[in-house]
Structure 1
Amino acid sequence: MPIGTTTDLTSSSDALVRARQRAALMPDLLVEANRVVATVIAGWHGRKRRGVGENFWQFRPFVHGEQVSRIDWRRSARDDHIYLRDREWEAAHTVWLWADPSPSMRFQSKAAQVSKESRALVLILALAEILSRSGERIGYPGVIDPLSARNAAERIATALTTRRPEDDFPPDDRFRQHSEVVLISDFLDPIDETLARIDRIGGRGVRGHLVMVNDPAEEVFPYSGRTEFRDPETGAKLTAGRAETLQADYQNIMAARRETLARHCRRLGWSFIAHRTDNLASEVLVALHGQLSGVPQAPRRSA
């Protein structure tokens, strides 16, 4: 498309409108995030990890090449194996949170009460609230630098009212080895591009967690008769005379996309969660917290 056309001016105007809409919604999203946290937080504690802290974490078999000083001789004397005494990881850990800001995330069908964007932001803010209570360092690429504060969720929400991520995928130049990143998106970009971006982040020694958020209509494909489909990213249109004839092929393509992402994440040692906006936000939040804590919990999938 030629630069400087009326369409470019329209795009800038649309971006400003979207920014204002996001700012207006943020207080409600923060309230909803806190409500979701309140439903799942009972009994939760900070994440436990093996590391250099002082609290006991676990016994595990000795492996040749490890420090002999870490052997627990009392535990080892109980049987014929030598055990090390691991201690709990206590250092501040950076977790990067990111919700896809692309136009496709604003889609909301009649079968859902919220858009994909709203659900993604609620999950990000709820996760920020929970992690901040555990003393984690939390950042949002392109929006806010890593911080460790009890009001991290509120500060992220405030930053998002005035600063929108410039890219439709988080820049990875800030990610450091041993940090973690939570990416929430519909992941509808070309699959090869998405996998390349994931590989680039994983190549930095970062552990990732993908949450693929979809509207129920995007999974069920409830359309029939003459239907016009429009790409929110490019404006391209497709008119189907009998949309119902596309359902089976469409569902197979979406299932293959999910499986490709899940398989790629497993290969990298990442986690992958598929979530529909007609399901409870608390379900995926519990699953996400489990993945970050090293205790995977699969969210329920609706039929």
Structure 2
Amino acid sequence: MSETASALRQSAERLSGGLPPLIVAAEHLANSVLPGAHGRRRAGPGADFWQFRPAGPGDVASRIDWRRSGRGDDLHIRESEWQAARAVTLWVDTGAAMGFSGAARRETKGARARLLALALALVLLRGGERVGLAEAGRAPRAGRSQAALISLALAEEADAGPERSAIDLRAAPAGGHVVLFSDFLGDLDAVQAALSQAAARNMRGILVQVLDPAEEDFPFDGRTRFESMSGHQSFETLRAGDLRAAYRDRLAARKDRLAALAGQAGWLATTLHTDRSPAEGLLWLYHALGGGGR
């Protein structure tokens, strides 16, 4: 390796080493899952050439590319690439409840939510979409500078606060797409109100419920003390195992209601778990948004 190349590599390593781990992980996730993602590869209004296709019934003569057609016996239509980028707004619950992890080496719900949100933002931005956060001053925009702003914003650790943060979509543009990340274990009436307001503004989106497997399985038994992440609520029982069946039934009912609320608003809903590969979740989200297209 030459001296110049060695110095360049050392500089790059120092630079990447100074980045928050979330940004490095999200970049790696986006590159490994969708390395060649291009969000809008289809015909439509735009200035950039996309492809030639054979002319067919219904095509008008003015759309024929005579130079290309002159190379053979068939007539060809010159198509442009669709360039109507969407506005996608991301909201991540920063409440204390998202700091839960059921195992010491398993990332928290909040960490997984921020990882997925950032990786999704990077993929969409590379596809030419406009992406932003549901915060004042962070409206959806395109470009590398926006990727850097979103990366730094999501990499910031949330301060200890209320158990769950309130959904606020006032900064999201009407007619755009929205992706909400939370455990959705709090008040679903608040979620319903947010979805109703979003539907009134012609927003479409996805509810992404992020759960730890312990919250699904309820593996507790015997004497157990449950305490909220904010420390404001606690409950102790001598026979936690007796609560397992009722807990699972209530969680299933909550998921059903969450799916129903999403369906009523024309949205989608999914549940992702912190013990599963984040690549699975990113792929699902990307395709649920139409693979980057409308």
Deviation readout 1:87-138 (Å, 9 max, x if unpaired): 8642232110111100000001117620001101111110111011011111
SS of the equivalent of 1:172 reads: coil
Match of 2:273 in 1: 276
Residues of 1 paired with 2:167 and 2:43: CA distance? 29
Higher CA-based Rg? 2
What is the CA-CA distance between 1:52 and the residue it aligns to?
4.1
What is the CA-CA distance between 1:175 and the residue it aligns to?
2.3
Aligned length: 249
**TM-score between the two structures when normalised by the length of structure 1:** 0.73
SS of the equivalent of 2:289 reads: helix
Deviation readout 1:169-221 (Å, 9 max, x if unpaired): 34222223321011111011112222122221222101111110000000000
Match of 1:158 in 2: 152
Letter in 2 for 1:158: L
Residues of 2 paired with 1:240 and 1:123: CA distance? 35
Match of 1:207 in 2: 204
Q: Please say if 1:121 is aligned against 2:118.
A: no
Match of 2:24 in 1: 31
Residues of 1 paired with 2:215 and 2:19: CA distance? 25
Residues of 1 paired with 2:112 and 2:157: CA distance? 19
- In structure 2, do the counterparts of structure 1 residues 129 and 294 end up closer, same or farther at CA, with 3 Å as the change threshold? closer
Segments of structure 2 that go 5 or more residues without pairing to the other structure are 1-17, 61-78
**TM-score between the two structures when normalised by the length of structure 2:** 0.75
What is the CA-CA distance between 1:266 and the residue it aligns to?
2.0
Residues of 1 paired with 2:244 and 2:195: CA distance? 29
**CA-atom RMSD in angstroms:** 3.1
SS of the equivalent of 2:20 reads: helix
What is the CA-CA distance between 1:253 and the residue it aligns to?
0.8
Q: Please say if 1:190 is aligned against 2:187.
A: yes
2:94 to 79, 101, 107: 101
Letter in 1 for 2:153: A
Point out which structure has higher relative CO (alpha carbons under 8 A, 6+ apart).
Answer: 2
Match of 2:11 in 1: none
SS of the equivalent of 1:73 reads: coil
Residues of 1 paired with 2:19 and 2:262: CA distance? 31
- In structure 2, do the counterparts of structure 1 residues 89 and 168 end up closer, same or farther at CA, with 3 Å as the change threshold? farther
Q: Please say if 1:133 is aligned against 2:118.
A: no
1:111 touches 1:216 (CA, 8 Å); kept in 2? no
Residues of 2 paired with 1:288 and 1:243: CA distance? 35
Match of 1:288 in 2: 285
After TM superposition, the structure 1 = structure 2 runs for residues 1-303 of structure 1, keeping only pairs within 5 Å, are 27-47=20-40, 52-53=45-46, 73=58, 89-110=82-103, 113-142=106-135, 144-160=138-154, 168-233=165-230, 235-293=232-290
Between the aligned residues of both structures, percent identity stands at: 35
Residues of 2 paired with 1:109 and 1:227: CA distance? 14
Segments of structure 1 that go 5 or more residues without pairing to the other structure are 1-24, 58-70, 76-85, 296-303
